[in-house]
Structure 1
Amino acid sequence: MIVDSPGRTGMLYHCPAAAPRTSTEALIELIAALSCEALASGMSLVQSLAAPTAKADLAATTSAGYEPLAELIYMRLDLAEPTERKIDGSLSWRSYGRFNDEELGRVIAATYEGSCDCPKLRGVRPMDQIIAGHKASGLFVPQSWWIVDREGVPAGCVLVNDSADLDSTELVYVGVVKASRGLGLGRKMIQRVAADAYLRGRRVLTLAVDARNTFAKRVYDVEGFREVDRRMAQVIFRSQAENGQT
């Protein structure tokens, strides 16, 4: 089945291709048909996640028209009581409400330039759909969505939502604009949201990062995140269905 999500995306779920009495051919046909129907109904894309070792599942979705998107590394940080840190006077922090979706969209778009995170997704959906998808990823917490200004100019953003698990919170998106990279801003944003999450009673911060984004992965490693899982993300786009490629 395909579960519809805000932001005009879908997530594919199917029985294991290697399960007993499963017809691989029938499964491929079913995945292709469901995906075409979902995309024709207005979804911009449908994603599928599988373990790197699930070769039969990956082969089935590939045969149904899906293409590789990213190897996602899932990471976890056990939060501790925050320590005092030196305040960077060049930075100012604005939470959601002190900016609107239009401004946030401009900042997010600026952070995409030169980024290694899932480059195939760029330009596929309008920014309002992207932001809607971020808001729907977990429980939207407006006070945990930040734009960071450096010397009065937007330099990055970090978006954190709570999980249904009352102990956990998720780093939904973090990005730094090109002109502000190499200044340690990514680490400062992570430290800020980790401290805020702890003070709100959360004890775990999770995230997923594209394995190709080695710079971000190093930052997360330094900040104490540890890898807990990996998944191969695949995607099929509406343009493929419209062009009869499935």
Structure 2
Amino acid sequence: MQHAERLRPEEIAIALAHVLADPGSAALAGPKQVAAFREYVAACGLGCEAAVLRRGAALSAVCVVLLLPGRTAVVMLPSLSRGGLEERDQRACVAELLAGLRDRGLYYAQALIEPAAIDQRRIIEAAGFIFLTGLLYLRRGVTYPWVEPPAADAHWLSYSDAQRERFERLVLATYADSRDCPELAGLRPAEDVLAAHRGAGVFDPELWQIAQRDGQDAGVLLMARLPASDAAEVAYTGVPRAFRRRGMGSLMMRRALQLCRERRVQQLTLVVDERNDAARALYARFGMGEYGRRLAYIHRWA
């Protein structure tokens, strides 16, 4: 049986050219796109590994894995529309890659698949990935339509190492009855949850904030600047049960836009579970428009 070949760091560009290519195109991703992605990976502190199968000198399968802070991974696959790649070999490559990750202390691996990529869905389902949900990618400009900053009745506490445990407790409290990927709640300890959010972009402790009302921690907002971009992302926002239905979601969105404007960021982005109707309605009220959708799958080792 032919085994997958692990690529050396200097060889990974060829694998990225396959997995970053437009699924509907026979052309590979260009050098600039690959270089920009590698700069993003480095800026976020992610690991990047790749494996391939060959038939003779030609590639017949390609897999890339991103190793994220917080001890999870993202598996990336190419479209089979480009000549030479074979589904049987692609399945074998994914299976071998997952086997190699089993003993590396990861909580789970994810795959984010274009809805139209039927071949990729077959491959990851054959490898034991379970469908989780659809994710909607939203964005808006930060100045138009104009949104007023939050009212002055909230106090904002920025992140520091001295406040780490406080942030951890609050994030865990917001998971209770959450409608945003609830299947992931409890799979990781709080310190790894925060580490994962820290790897969402360029970390700035002033963009991680706790909202306080009446002297109590009433919500958390975790944002990140996206590398080589004029955008910032809401990596996570949550409200503990006692403060829900009290306008905290609107408060968080106003604060996020305010922080963007203060830093002259032009775009605000976020990702939401398509099942979370309340959050989607909130984001729609704040002018967030959909620009992409992915199907989220998860793999856990027995």
CA distance in structure 2 between the aligned counterparts of 1:225 and 1:19, rounded to whole angstroms = 34
> What is the percent sequence identity of the aligned residues?
30
Q: CA deviation at 1:196?
A: 1.4
Query: 1:89-168 counterparts in 2 under 5 A?
Result: 89=153, 91-97=154-160, 100-168=163-231
Partner residue of 2:232 out of 157, 166, 169: 169
Matched, 1:87 2:87: no
Partner residue of 2:118 out of 55, 60, 63: 55
Partner residue of 1:72 out of 121, 125, 135: 135
Match of 1:221 in 2: 284
Q: CA deviation at 1:45?
A: 1.1
- Return 5+ residue gaps in structure 1 as ranges: none
- Return 5+ residue gaps in structure 2 as ranges: 1-63
Q: State whether residues 221 and 236 of structure 2, in contact with CA within 8 Å, keep that contact through their aligned partners in structure 1.
A: yes
The AA in structure 2 aligned to 1:207 is: L
CA distance in structure 2 between the aligned counterparts of 1:111 and 1:182, rounded to whole angstroms = 13
Matched, 1:46 2:109: yes
What RMSD, in angstroms, separates the aligned Cα atoms of the two structures?
Answer: 1.7
Query: 1:182-197 counterparts in 2 under 5 A?
Result: 182-197=245-260
CA distance in structure 2 between the aligned counterparts of 1:166 and 1:22, rounded to whole angstroms = 33
Which structure exhibits the higher relative contact order, with contacts defined as CA atoms closer than 8 Å and separated by 6 or more residues? 1
Q: CA deviation at 1:39?
A: 2.8
Q: State whether residues 187 and 219 of structure 1, in contact with CA within 8 Å, keep that contact through their aligned partners in structure 2.
A: yes
Match of 2:57 in 1: none
The AA in structure 2 aligned to 1:87 is: A
Q: Report the TM-score, using the length of structure 1 for normalisation.
A: 0.91
Q: CA deviation at 1:33?
A: 1.6
Distance of aligned partners of 1:98 and 1:128 in 2 relative to their CA distance in 1, 3 Å threshold: closer
Q: Report the TM-score, using the length of structure 2 for normalisation.
A: 0.75
The AA in structure 1 aligned to 2:91 is: I
Q: State whether residues 2 and 38 of structure 1, in contact with CA within 8 Å, keep that contact through their aligned partners in structure 2.
A: no
The AA in structure 2 aligned to 1:69 is: L
The structure with the largest alpha-carbon Rg is: 2
Q: CA deviation at 1:201?
A: 1.0
CA distance in structure 2 between the aligned counterparts of 1:199 and 1:133, rounded to whole angstroms = 25
Matched, 1:13 2:81: no
